[in-house]
C-alpha cells in the first residue's frame, strides 16, 4: 500500500498541531450532554415532572424543530433531545478538522512540501480521517461513560455515545468529499457547511410533525436525523448505525476516488475567474474592507436571524412548559427578567444573541490583526493611506456589523413571536428593543479588541478570553450566587432584561463611553507603534 506510506507520521503531525484544539472540543462536547442530563435530573426530579415536560415538548413543533425528536419520557430520552444540537456541533467540528488538514494545507502549499517526502497520495486524507474518527469515538466514550456514571442504562448509553460519534463520522466524510471539490479551503468549508445546514433543516422540517407526522420521512434524508433515529434510551434501533456506516464508506470512497484523479492543488470544480480590472468603486480602504467583511457580515446576520426566528416561534409556548415547575420558573426568572415567562425567555435568549454578536465584534475587529500578521496591512499602509484611515475601515465593521446582525435578530424574533402570539404591532417593538439594549455591551468587546490591537498587538487574542469570562459571569454567575461587584465586571450584567424590565439610560451611556475610550486608546496606540508582522 505505497499510497498510504507515511500515514503514521502524518497522524502524529496532526495530533501535534491540534494538541490543544482536539482535546478541547472532544472533552467539552462530550461533557455537555452529561451536564445537561444532570441539570434535567435536578430540575425534573420526579417521573411526573418528566412526563409533563415530555407532553409539552412533543406538543411544541418549534422545540422539536430546534433540537430534534423526543422519543420517551425518561431522563435519558429527554437528555438526548435536550442535547440535540451537540450532534450538529460535533458534526461541524469533525467537518472543519478534516478540511483544515486537507484542503487548507493544500491551499497553503504545505501539502506539496509533504508530497515531496515519502508520503503516499492517500496518506494525508487517511491520516486526518483516522484522527477524526478516533476523536469522535473518544467523544462518544466520554458521553457514554458520563451517562452511565449518572446511573443510566449501560447499553442505551453506549448507543447514545455511538450516535454522537456517528454524527461526527458522517460529517467528517462530507468534509473529505468537499475538500476534493474546490481549490480554496473557504469554498470547501462553504460546501460542507451548506451540506450540514441542509441536513439540519431537513431534520428540523421532518421532526416538526412529531412522531408519525406527514413530513417525518424528511428526517430520514438527513445524517443528523439518522443519528437521532437510533433512539437511545427509547428502544434502540441499532440497524440505523448500518446506514451511517454505509454513508461514511460511500462518501469516503468517493473522496479517495476523486483524490486519485486530480492534481495536487487542483479542485474538481474549476476555480472561477475574477474580473481583470477592479470596479470603479474599489478605490478606498473601506471598499477593500467591505470586500473582506461582507461574507462574514452576511453569515452572522442570517445565522442570528434564523436562530432568533426559531426562538421567537417557541417563546409563546414556554408559559405552558414551565407551568407546575416552580424550580424552572425560578431559574428562568433569575436568568431573564420578571413577570411573564415568555418575556423572560426572550430576554434570556437575547443575552445569548448578544454574546454571539460580541464574538462577531471581536472577530471583525481582530481582522486588523489578521491583516497585519498576514503582511497584507503593509502594502496598503505603504500607499497614501494613513494608519487611522486603514484601522477605522476595519473597525467600522467591528462596530456596525454586530449592530446589523443584532437588529436583524431582534426583527426576526419579534416578527415571528408576534405572528405566533397574534400581535405583531405590540411584540415587534418590544423584542427589537430587547435586542437594541444589548448593543452597548456588545460594542465594549469591539473596544477591548481594538485597544489590545493598538496597544498590545501580540495579546490581541486575549479579547476572546475576556468574552469567555463575561459569558461565564452573565450566564452562570447568578446561579453560583457570586457577589454583585464580580457580576458587574461583565458589561452584559448592566443590561436591563428587556422585554419586561424598565430601561434606564445611564448604564448604557456608561458602556458607550467605555467603548469610546477603548477605541480611542487603541487608535492612538496603533498610530504610534511599529507594525508587528510575526507573532
Partner 1 sequence: MTATAIAVSGLVKTFGPTRALDGLDLTVTTGEVHGFLGPNGAGKTTTLRILLGLLRADAGSARLLGGDPWADAVALHRRLAYVPGDVTLWPSLSGGEVIDLLGRLRGGLDPNRRAELLDRFDLDPRKKARTYSKGNRQKVALIAALASDVELLLLDEPTSGLDPLMEAAFRDWLNAEERARGRTVLLSSHILAEVEALADRVSIIRAGRIVESGTLADLRHLTSTSITAELAAPPNGLAGLAGVHDLQLDGSRVHFQVDNSQLEEALRRLAAAGVRSLTSQPPTLEELFLRHYQTDLPAGERAEVSR
Burial of 311 (0-12, 13-18, 19+ CB in 10 A): buried
Task: Say which residues have a Cβ less than 8 Å from residue 3's Cβ, sequence separation at least 6.
Answer: 120, 121, 122, 123
Q: Which is nearer to partner 1, 513 or 531 (CB)?
A: 531
- Residue from 105, 106, 107, 316 in contact with partner 1 (CB under 8 A): 107
Smallest distance, partner 1 to C-beta of residue 383, A: 4
Q: Which is nearer to partner 1, 24 or 271 (CB)?
A: 271
406-435 residues in contact with partner 1 (CB under 8 A) are none
Smallest distance, partner 1 to C-beta of residue 80, A: 40
Q: Which is nearer to partner 1, 110 or 387 (CB)?
A: 387
- Residue from 16, 212, 502, 530 in contact with partner 1 (CB under 8 A): 530
Q: Which is nearer to partner 1, 51 or 291 (CB)?
A: 291
Q: Which is nearer to partner 1, 51 or 376 (CB)?
A: 376
| Nearest of 222, 238, 62 to residue 158 by alpha carbon | 238
487-516 residues in contact with partner 1 (CB under 8 A) are none
Q: Which is nearer to partner 1, 32 or 99 (CB)?
A: 99
End-to-end CA distance of the chain: 40
- How far apart CA 496 and CA 503 sit, in angstroms, is 6
- Residue from 378, 461, 509, 516 in contact with partner 1 (CB under 8 A): 378
Say if residues 58 and 64 touch (Cβ distance below 8 Å): yes
- How far apart CA 67 and CA 55 sit, in angstroms, is 15
Task: Say which residues have a Cβ less than 8 Å from residue 265's Cβ, sequence separation at least 6.
Answer: 106, 107, 111, 112, 183
Determine if 16 is a binding residue for partner 1 (CB under 8 A): no
Smallest distance, partner 1 to C-beta of residue 98, A: 20
Q: Which is nearer to partner 1, 502 or 530 (CB)?
A: 530
385-404 residues in contact with partner 1 (CB under 8 A) are 385-387
| Nearest of 202, 191, 224, 201 to residue 98 by alpha carbon | 191
195-224 residues in contact with partner 1 (CB under 8 A) are none
Stretch that binds partner 1, among 91-99, 130-138, 180-188, 356-364 (CB under 8 A): 180-188
280-339 residues in contact with partner 1 (CB under 8 A) are 282-285, 287-288, 291-292
Virtual torsion, Cα 28, 31, 33, 35, nearest 10 deg: -110
Question: From its phi and psi, is residue 273 left (phi > 0), alpha (psi between -120 and 50) or beta?
Answer: beta
Say if residues 321 and 56 touch (Cβ distance below 8 Å): yes
Determine if 375 is a binding residue for partner 1 (CB under 8 A): yes
Q: Which is nearer to partner 1, 262 or 528 (CB)?
A: 528
Three cell numbers, residue 98: 478534516
Q: Which is nearer to partner 1, 181 or 287 (CB)?
A: 287
Three cell numbers, residue 225: 436525523
Smallest distance, partner 1 to C-beta of residue 467, A: 27
Determine if 271 is a binding residue for partner 1 (CB under 8 A): yes
Q: Which is nearer to partner 1, 267 or 410 (CB)?
A: 267
Q: Which is nearer to partner 1, 492 or 526 (CB)?
A: 526
Three cell numbers, residue 323: 407551568
Stretch that binds partner 1, among 98-106, 279-287, 300-308, 504-512 (CB under 8 A): 279-287
Smallest distance, partner 1 to C-beta of residue 185, A: 9
Smallest distance, partner 1 to C-beta of residue 523, A: 15
- The residue count for binding partner 1 (CB under 8 A) is 38
Q: Which is nearer to partner 1, 237 or 529 (CB)?
A: 529
Peptide bond into 499 cis (omega under 30): yes
- Residue from 383, 481, 483, 484 in contact with partner 1 (CB under 8 A): 383
Task: Say which residues have a Cβ less than 8 Å from residue 453's Cβ, sequence separation at least 6.
Answer: 365, 366, 368, 369, 460, 522, 526
Q: Measured at the alpha carbon of residue 119, what is the angle toward residues 118 and 123, in degrees to the nearest 5?
A: 160
Smallest distance, partner 1 to C-beta of residue 189, A: 13
* Phi/psi of residue 60, nearest 5 degrees: -120, 95
- Residue from 212, 214, 274, 425 in contact with partner 1 (CB under 8 A): 274
Determine if 263 is a binding residue for partner 1 (CB under 8 A): no
Rounded (10°) angle between helices 123-149 and 239-261: 160
Stretch that binds partner 1, among 14-22, 144-152, 443-451, 523-531 (CB under 8 A): 523-531
What single string gives the DSSP state of each residue in 146-186? HHHHTT--HHHHHHHHHHHHHHHHHHHHHHHHHHHH-SSHH
Question: From its phi and psi, is residue 422 left (phi > 0), alpha (psi between -120 and 50) or beta?
Answer: left
Q: Residues in the site for partner 1, rule: CB under 8 A?
A: 107, 183-184, 186, 271-279, 282-285, 287-288, 291-292, 374-376, 378-387, 528-531
Amino acid at each position: 500500500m505505497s499510497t498510504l506510506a507515511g500515514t503514521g507520521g502524518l497522524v502524529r503531525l496532526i495530533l501535534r498541531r491540534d494538541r490543544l484544539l482536539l482535546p478541547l472540543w472532544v472533552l467539552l462536547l462530550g461533557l455537555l450532554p452529561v451536564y445537561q442530563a444532570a441539570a434535567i435530573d435536578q430540575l425534573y426530579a420526579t417521573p411526573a415532572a418528566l412526563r409533563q415536560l415530555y407532553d409539552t415538548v412533543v406538543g411544541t413543533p418549534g422545540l422539536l424543530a430546534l433540537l430534534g425528536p423526543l422519543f420517551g419520557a425518561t431522563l435519558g430520552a429527554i437528555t438526548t433531545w435536550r442535547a440535540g444540537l451537540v450532534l450538529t456541533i460535533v458534526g461541524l467540528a469533525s467537518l472543519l478538522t478534516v478540511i483544515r488538514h486537507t484542503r487548507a494545507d493544500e491551499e497553503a502549499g504545505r501539502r506539496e512540501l509533504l508530497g515531496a517526502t515519502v508520503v503516499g497520495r492517500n496518506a494525508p486524507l487517511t491520516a486526518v480521517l483516522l484522527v477524526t474518527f478516533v476523536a469522535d469515538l473518544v467523544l462518544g466514550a466520554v458521553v457514554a461513560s458520563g451517562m452511565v456514571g449518572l446511573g443510566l442504562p449501560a447499553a442505551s448509553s453506549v448507543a447514545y455515545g455511538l450516535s454522537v460519534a456517528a454524527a461526527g463520522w458522517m460529517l467528517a466524510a462530507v468534509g473529505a468529499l468537499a475538500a476534493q471539490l474546490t481549490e480554496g479551503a473557504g469554498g470547501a468549508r462553504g460546501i460542507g457547511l451548506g451540506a450540514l445546514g441542509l441536513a439540519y433543516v431537513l431534520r428540523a422540517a421532518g421532526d416538526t410533525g412529531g412522531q408519525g407526522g406527514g413530513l417525518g420521512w424528511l428526517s430520514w434524508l438527513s445524517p443528523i436525523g439518522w443519528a437521532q433515529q437510533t433512539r437511545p434510551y427509547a428502544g434502540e434501533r441499532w440497524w440505523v448505525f448500518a446506514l451511517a456506516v454505509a454513508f461514511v464508506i460511500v462518501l469516503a470512497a468517493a473522496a479517495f476516488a476523486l483524490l486519485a484523479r486530480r492534481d495536487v492543488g487542483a479542485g474538481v470544480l474549476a476555480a472561477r475567474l475574477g474580473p481583470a480590472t477592479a470596479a470603479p468603486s474599489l478605490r478606498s480602504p473601506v471598499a477593500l474592507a467591505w470586500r473582506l467583511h461582507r461574507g462574514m457580515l452576511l453569515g452572522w446576520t442570517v445565522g442570528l436571524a434564523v436562530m432568533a426566528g426559531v426562538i421567537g416561534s417557541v417563546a409563546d409556548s414556554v408559559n405552558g412548559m414551565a407551568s407546575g415547575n416552580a424550580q424552572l420558573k425560578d431559574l428562568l426568572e433569575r436568568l431573564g427578567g420578571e413577570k411573564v415567562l415568555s418575556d423572560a425567555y426572550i430576554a434570556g435568549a437575547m443575552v445569548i444573541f448578544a454574546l454571539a454578536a460580541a464574538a462577531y465584534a471581536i472577530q471583525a475587529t481582530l481582522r486588523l490583526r489578521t491583516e497585519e500578521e498576514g503582511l497584507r496591512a503593509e502594502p496598503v499602509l505603504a500607499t497614501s493611506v494613513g494608519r487611522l484611515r486603514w484601522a477605522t475601515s476595519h473597525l467600522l465593521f467591528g462596530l456596525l456589523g454586530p449592530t446589523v446582525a443584532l437588529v436583524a435578530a431582534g426583527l426576526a424574533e419579534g416578527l415571528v413571536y408576534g405572528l405566533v402570539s397574534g400581535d405583531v404591532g405590540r411584540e415587534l417593538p418590544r423584542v427589537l428593543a430587547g435586542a437594541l439594549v444589548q448593543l452597548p455591551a456588545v460594542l465594549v468587546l469591539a473596544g477591548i479588541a481594538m485597544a489590545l490591537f493598538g496597544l498590545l498587538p501580540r495579546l490581541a487574542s486575549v479579547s476572546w478570553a475576556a468574552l469567555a469570562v463575561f459569558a461565564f459571569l452573565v450566564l452562570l454567575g447568578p446561579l453560583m450566587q457570586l457577589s454583585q461587584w464580580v457580576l458587574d465586571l461583565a458589561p452584559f450584567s448592566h443590561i436591563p432584561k428587556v422585554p419586561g424590565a424598565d430601561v434606564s439610560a445611564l448604564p448604557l451611556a456608561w458602556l458607550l463611553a467605555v467603548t469610546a475610550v477603548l477605541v480611542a486608546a487603541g487608535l492612538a496606540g496603533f498610530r504610534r507603534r511599529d507594525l508587528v508582522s510575526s507573532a
